[in-house]
Structures are given as C-alpha cells and as structure tokens.
Amino acid sequence: MDAPKQLEKIGRYQILERVGKGGMGVLYRGFDPVLDREVAIKLMLTDFTEDTEQMRPRFYREARAAAKLNHRNIVTIFEFAEESNTPYIVMEFLRGTPLGARLREEPPLSLDDKLNIVAQLCDGLAYAHEQGVVHRDVKPDNVFILEDGSVKLLDFGIAKLTSSNLTRQGDVLGSASYMSPEQVGGSDSVDGRADIFSTGVMLYELLTGRKPFEAEAPTAVILKILKDDPPPLETYVQGLPPQLVAAVMKALSKNPDDRFPKADAFGRELQLIRRSLPPAGMPSELEETRYANTQMIKQIHQDLQKLRDDATVTPGTSTAVAQAARDAIGAAAADAATPASSGSSWVIPTAVAALVVLGAGAYFVFGTRQSSPPATQTATAPSAAVTTPSSSPAVPPAPPAPTTPAAAPDTSAAPKAADVVPAAAPRPVAAPVVPVSMAGGYPFEVLDGGKVLSPASAAHDFKAPAGKSLVVSAPKYFLRQTVRVDGSPTRGFDWTAPGLGKLDVRSAQETCDVVIGDRKLGNPPLVIPEIAAGQYRVDISCAGEVVKSHYATVRAGQTYVAAIK
C-alpha cells in the first residue's frame, strides 16, 4: 500500500513534517497535543483492509510485546493504532545522528567510540532478548546516536511485526548484508543469536569500512552468508587487538551455537577489550574505573562473595579469601607474561578484577574485626589481628557471664556478628576535572545539556569533568556537534572548531524549499557561502513534504555542489 502523499493528522497527533521513508513505512515528526510533546510516527506499509482475522490480532500481540521494552538503549514506543486500516506506531522523537550517517562524517570514530557504541547496543539487545523479543534487523541505519553520545536501537520488534502472516510468504526481511545464516535460510527457529550475528556484521563494518559479505546482487550476498567465511579483518586494517578480532569472528560464526550465547556476553567482552586499550590521557589510577558499569561491578562482587561462601567462617577465613585473591593475581600475572593470543582476552581484566578482589579481601582482613588497632599504630600492627587458631590471644578472654534462668543460651562457640560484615558498596570515583580550551575562526557557544556553559566566542577556556559530553553550537554556520572531554588535570583538552566551506544546492524543483535540519532556506538554486565543515542532510521539501534528500560532505575551504535531481 502507498502511504498518503500529504497528511495533517494521524489519530490525535498533528503532523509537522515527513522525515523519511524506508522499507517498513513512512516516518513523520509529529506533535501530541494531549501530552504536549514531540513524537515520531511510523505509518507502516501494511493494510488491514483485507484482514484474514489473523493479521490484526497477530500485529497487536507482537506490538504489545515490543511496547513493553523499557531500556535506555531502546527507543520508547508510546502507542500502536490504526488510521484507515493502516497501522502506525508512535515513538519518542530523538535528536542526534543515525550511525549509518555518522560513519560518513568527520572526524572519524575512534576505536574506543566504536566499541562503546556496539557495547551499548548489546545492552539493549540483551534486555530485549530476556523479554522474548528479537530485533531481526540490526544495522547502522537502525542505530541512533544521541547528542550526549548514548545509543538508541530503533524499530525494535517491527521486523517481527511485519513478518509471517503480515507479509507475503517468502519475503526476506531486513537488509541482506546484515542477516544471519538462519534468517536468509528461512529457519523457523530464529532467536537472539541472529541479532548477535547482525551486530558482528556491523562491528566488522565499523572496524574496516567494509561489510564482511559483499556482492553486487542480494542473492550473491545470501550465498556468501551461507557458505563463505568473511575476509580476515587484517586484510583491511592492521594493529587491532587479537582479542577483538577473535570476538568479531566468534559473533560471525555460521553456527548459532558457536557465537556468544547472549548479547550481554558479547557486550562485556567489548567493554573488557576497551579496558585494555591505551588510556587517552587519563591517570592510571582512574583508568580502572573508566569502564566500570553496574553489571561488571556486580560480577566482581559475585566472584568475591563466592570466595567468602566457599570458606568457613573461622578466624582463618579472612586469610583464605586474601590468599585466593593473591593466587588469582599470580595466575593473571603469569598469563600476562605470555604473548597475546586469541584466548587471552581476559588477561588484563582478570588482573584488574584480582586487584579489586584483593582490595576487598584486605577490607575483610583488616577492616571488619573489633580488635583491629587504631589508624595511628604502625603498619605492622594490623597483621597481629590475623592469627591462626593455635595462636595465643593478645588479651585474655573475658570470663563468661553468670548463668541465670533468664540468661541467653551460651553462643560463644558461634561466629560473632562482628566477624561477618557484608561487602561495602563501591564508592563512586569522581571524574577528574580537566582544563578545556576550545577555539575557532568564528564565534560558537558551548552547551552542557540545555544550559549554556560558555557563551558565544571564538575562544573558550573552562574546566569540565573528563568524559563529559558537551555540545558546540553556531547556528549561523550550521554547526552543532557533540564533543567528549578527554585529557587529565595535568594535560588539558584542546578542541578546534571545523573550518568553513561553501555549499551550493541545485535542484530541478525550483519552487520547493531547501531544508537543512529544521531550517527552511528558500528555493534552489542557492548558495550558503559559509558553513562549518561536516556532513549535512539536504532535503527538498514541496508543500511540506520531503521529496528528495541528499547527503553533502562539506570540507573547509572548498565548495560542495549538491546536485539534487
């Protein structure tokens, strides 16, 4: 079914503009007058006019499953409904850049950025798979990077909503290059491991700039997915960590059983690989906390708790925990001394985790016993608290209380409550404050969320926490870019605004408007004499409807001619 050419309203939602069109439907930016907010509305290319009494119930059954997903890395769905027998989906409206477009922008993503994006994606996938929902169409165009650097996965569950009875039998859904062997083979047992394969394809493309299975025709691509191994990553890029190469190839295994069993396992592996990357100006003592997330901290505490549970609660328990931690560190150090191999991805993280366990074990050894000495004593004093059962106590035990009918039973043989103290919650480590210097050949302002951190100027000097995402904005020059603060207190962070180029827009639709972002610029042909270098989506809008789009890459000091036919 062809979507309506012009719409002013869908349900209760007012249509503000048409954003784009894809294989599953037409996307609009709309406004919800009831809740006073912007929304995204996808009018799907499915018609219930000839309902077989199976399509509509299945659609809403799958829609309810997708709408239950509530995760920071998944776009939020507000409503599923129908308009003239055509179903539509109402979602949160996002501001940022699709990953597919970001790959063509300057500056290029760093290796750390790429791993961070895919790790966030894995978090969202793992949550959805736990809820029994498989995406089935993971690809860069369905991954959205918000202005603060966080990642949102789009169209979650929509591929499944439009499958089976909702499409013609035999249709192949999704983009062929990103589909798993079981998907292109028509298997009925597609599960979350198909999304892991697609995520592996996307990571391969992020690292090499090429898809692992490329051919001129979709059928040839499908044959490669089913039969051929992807070219080694080293063919296109050198110097990648061996454990990263191993992780990508594991995700791309033909057999689902050979892949990561769950998406969160894939994500954790990528986060651990990020930890092994050389720090970008961050003090070594803070590097351990840089990638600490809730799940990783929880896993470390579970490992520590297991050590404690395995030991008997006796005066020697603390020694057992500490010794186990030392053994773990020794084993990790021995592994670290050997050359890296495909199975060594846990070497550095294991050493770090062992240090954490040892530190926590030391807490139980020195910090939880009532007889521990004051901090003013010498460093050797705490060791006196760690004694074997045969050691003589330093202070004679107090005589037992007289036994009376009302006295409590004698529990002197039982462990004292003071000997067993729960692990203290990890104290958050504040990010170091970094001197920031920003400059450019024109004035721009620096934003922190919705607040102006530094007003418009050609030069800025201020301080911000390391890892902070800021937005630099110069509407006159079409600049709006997210910048992540790096560096350290002793080595500041410097950033230079992109230079200015020229954009020349030409189109045969001379009565229509040229639109960049949310700005209507007039009829073509037109020239923007000064525009910040970067990539822009240039739309041709006729009567409020986008009829043509073009991605323009502007370079400093050069003129880009956008000829939109």
List residues with catalytic annotation: 137
DSSP states of 154-208 as a string?
A: -STTHHHHTSGGGS-TTPPPS-GGG--HHHHTT-S---HHHHHHHHHHHHHHHHH
Using DSSP bridges, classify how beta strands 500-507 and 559-564 pair: parallel, antiparallel or unpaired.
Answer: parallel
Distances, alpha carbon 224 to alpha carbons 134, 138, 172, in Å: 23, 19, 16
* CA-CA-CA-CA dihedral for 189, 192, 195, 199, to nearest 10: -140
In this structure, what DSSP letter does residue 374 have?
A: P
**The tokens of 189 are what?**
């047992």
CA torsion sign, 140 to 144 to 24 to 192? positive
Q: Would you call 505 helix, strand, or coil by DSSP?
A: strand
Contact yes or no for 482/147 (Cβ under 8 A): yes
Q: What are phi and psi of 199, to 5 degrees?
A: -65, -35
Kindly state the greatest CA–CA separation across the chain: 104
Rg (CA), the chain: 29
Peptide bond into 107 cis (omega under 30): yes
DSSP states of 118-147 as a string?
A: HHHHHHHHHHHHHTT-------GGGEEEET
Exposed e or buried b per residue across 131-159, where buried means at least 16 C-beta atoms within 10 angstroms of its C-beta: eebbbbbbbbbbbbbebebebbbbbbbbb
